[in-house]
Amino acid sequence: MKFIDIIAKQKQIIMKKILSLAVSCLMIAGMSSCTKEYNCTCTTTTTYTSSNEALIPSSPVEVTAETTVITAKKSESEDKCKMLAIDYGGPVSITDSVPTGFDANFNIIWESITQTFETVESCKI
Protein backbone atom coordinates (compact mmCIF):
# COMPACT_ATOMS: atom_id res chain seq x y z
CA MET A 1 0.00 0.00 0.00
CA LYS A 2 1.42 3.35 -0.98
CA PHE A 3 1.77 6.32 1.33
CA ILE A 4 -0.77 8.29 -0.75
CA ASP A 5 -3.31 5.49 -0.41
CA ILE A 6 -2.88 5.51 3.37
CA ILE A 7 -3.48 9.28 3.51
CA ALA A 8 -6.54 8.95 1.29
CA LYS A 9 -7.93 6.21 3.53
CA GLN A 10 -7.34 8.38 6.61
CA LYS A 11 -9.16 11.29 4.95
CA GLN A 12 -12.12 9.03 4.21
CA ILE A 13 -12.31 7.93 7.84
CA ILE A 14 -12.12 11.54 9.08
CA MET A 15 -14.79 12.65 6.58
CA LYS A 16 -17.10 9.80 7.67
CA LYS A 17 -16.68 10.83 11.32
CA ILE A 18 -17.37 14.49 10.51
CA LEU A 19 -20.42 13.54 8.44
CA SER A 20 -21.88 11.31 11.20
CA LEU A 21 -21.28 14.05 13.78
CA ALA A 22 -23.06 16.60 11.57
CA VAL A 23 -26.01 14.25 10.99
CA SER A 24 -26.26 13.58 14.74
CA CYS A 25 -26.27 17.31 15.51
CA LEU A 26 -28.98 17.93 12.92
CA MET A 27 -31.15 15.16 14.36
CA ILE A 28 -30.79 16.50 17.90
CA ALA A 29 -31.56 20.05 16.74
CA GLY A 30 -34.56 18.82 14.76
CA MET A 31 -35.99 16.87 17.67
CA SER A 32 -35.61 19.75 20.12
CA SER A 33 -37.84 22.02 18.01
CA CYS A 34 -40.62 19.44 17.72
CA THR A 35 -43.91 20.00 19.43
CA LYS A 36 -44.37 17.85 22.49
CA GLU A 37 -46.84 17.52 25.31
CA TYR A 38 -45.86 19.53 28.38
CA ASN A 39 -47.66 19.43 31.73
CA CYS A 40 -48.48 22.88 33.05
CA THR A 41 -49.19 22.73 36.79
CA CYS A 42 -50.99 25.68 38.37
CA THR A 43 -50.78 25.87 42.16
CA THR A 44 -53.28 28.05 44.03
CA THR A 45 -52.57 29.03 47.63
CA THR A 46 -55.31 30.66 49.72
CA THR A 47 -54.62 32.12 53.16
CA TYR A 48 -56.99 33.64 55.70
CA THR A 49 -55.72 35.49 58.75
CA SER A 50 -57.43 37.27 61.61
CA SER A 51 -56.14 40.10 63.79
CA ASN A 52 -57.70 38.42 66.86
CA GLU A 53 -57.21 34.65 66.86
CA ALA A 54 -59.25 34.24 70.06
CA LEU A 55 -62.45 35.65 68.53
CA ILE A 56 -62.11 34.54 64.92
CA PRO A 57 -59.37 31.96 64.32
CA SER A 58 -57.38 31.88 61.08
CA SER A 59 -58.07 29.07 58.67
CA PRO A 60 -55.36 26.65 57.61
CA VAL A 61 -53.61 27.44 54.34
CA GLU A 62 -55.43 25.81 51.44
CA VAL A 63 -53.33 24.64 48.50
CA THR A 64 -54.77 23.19 45.30
CA ALA A 65 -52.99 22.12 42.12
CA GLU A 66 -54.37 21.60 38.64
CA THR A 67 -52.44 20.20 35.69
CA THR A 68 -53.16 21.12 32.06
CA VAL A 69 -51.48 19.45 29.07
CA ILE A 70 -50.11 21.88 26.48
CA THR A 71 -48.91 20.59 23.10
CA ALA A 72 -46.39 23.02 21.62
CA LYS A 73 -42.69 23.81 21.49
CA LYS A 74 -41.08 24.21 24.91
CA SER A 75 -40.77 28.02 24.78
CA GLU A 76 -44.36 28.39 23.54
CA SER A 77 -45.59 25.98 26.21
CA GLU A 78 -43.86 27.99 28.95
CA ASP A 79 -45.48 31.22 27.69
CA LYS A 80 -48.93 29.62 27.45
CA CYS A 81 -48.52 28.12 30.91
CA LYS A 82 -47.64 31.49 32.46
CA MET A 83 -50.75 33.00 30.84
CA LEU A 84 -52.95 30.45 32.64
CA ALA A 85 -52.09 31.94 36.03
CA ILE A 86 -54.88 34.11 37.42
CA ASP A 87 -53.97 37.44 39.03
CA TYR A 88 -56.23 37.85 42.05
CA GLY A 89 -55.03 41.40 42.71
CA GLY A 90 -53.33 40.93 46.07
CA PRO A 91 -54.75 40.52 49.56
CA VAL A 92 -58.23 41.70 50.52
CA SER A 93 -58.71 43.04 54.04
CA ILE A 94 -62.05 43.43 55.78
CA THR A 95 -62.42 45.25 59.07
CA ASP A 96 -65.54 44.45 61.03
CA SER A 97 -66.88 44.92 64.53
CA VAL A 98 -67.64 41.81 66.53
CA PRO A 99 -69.65 41.72 69.77
CA THR A 100 -67.43 40.47 72.58
CA GLY A 101 -69.67 40.86 75.63
CA PHE A 102 -71.62 43.36 77.71
CA ASP A 103 -70.59 46.17 80.03
CA ALA A 104 -72.09 46.87 83.48
CA ASN A 105 -75.13 48.59 81.89
CA PHE A 106 -75.71 45.66 79.51
CA ASN A 107 -74.48 47.61 76.52
CA ILE A 108 -72.79 45.48 73.85
CA ILE A 109 -69.01 45.73 73.78
CA TRP A 110 -67.71 45.76 70.20
CA GLU A 111 -64.20 44.90 69.12
CA SER A 112 -62.74 45.73 65.72
CA ILE A 113 -61.19 42.77 63.89
CA THR A 114 -59.36 42.78 60.58
CA GLN A 115 -59.60 39.67 58.45
CA THR A 116 -57.27 39.23 55.48
CA PHE A 117 -57.83 36.89 52.53
CA GLU A 118 -55.12 36.28 49.96
CA THR A 119 -55.07 33.98 46.95
CA VAL A 120 -51.90 33.52 44.92
CA GLU A 121 -51.59 31.35 41.81
CA SER A 122 -48.49 30.34 39.91
CA CYS A 123 -48.15 28.09 36.87
CA LYS A 124 -45.01 26.20 35.79
CA ILE A 125 -44.04 23.58 33.22
Q: Which residues of the chain register pLDDT less than 50?
A: none
Contact yes or no for 46/121 (Cβ under 8 A): no
The domains of the chain are located at: 1-34, 35-124
pLDDT at 108: 96
Please say whether the dihedral angle defined by the alpha carbons of residues 5, 10, 16 and 22, taken in this order, is positive or negative: negative
pLDDT at 50: 93
pLDDT at 116: 95
pLDDT at 55: 86
- The CA distances from residue 105 to 21, 52, 65, in Å, are 93, 25, 53
**Residue 51 backbone dihedrals phi, psi, to 5 degrees:** -75, -15
Contact yes or no for 121/42 (Cβ under 8 A): yes
Distance of alpha carbon 110 from the chain centroid: 43
Q: What is the pTM of this model?
A: 0.62
What residues pair up with 49 in beta bridges, in sequence order? 116
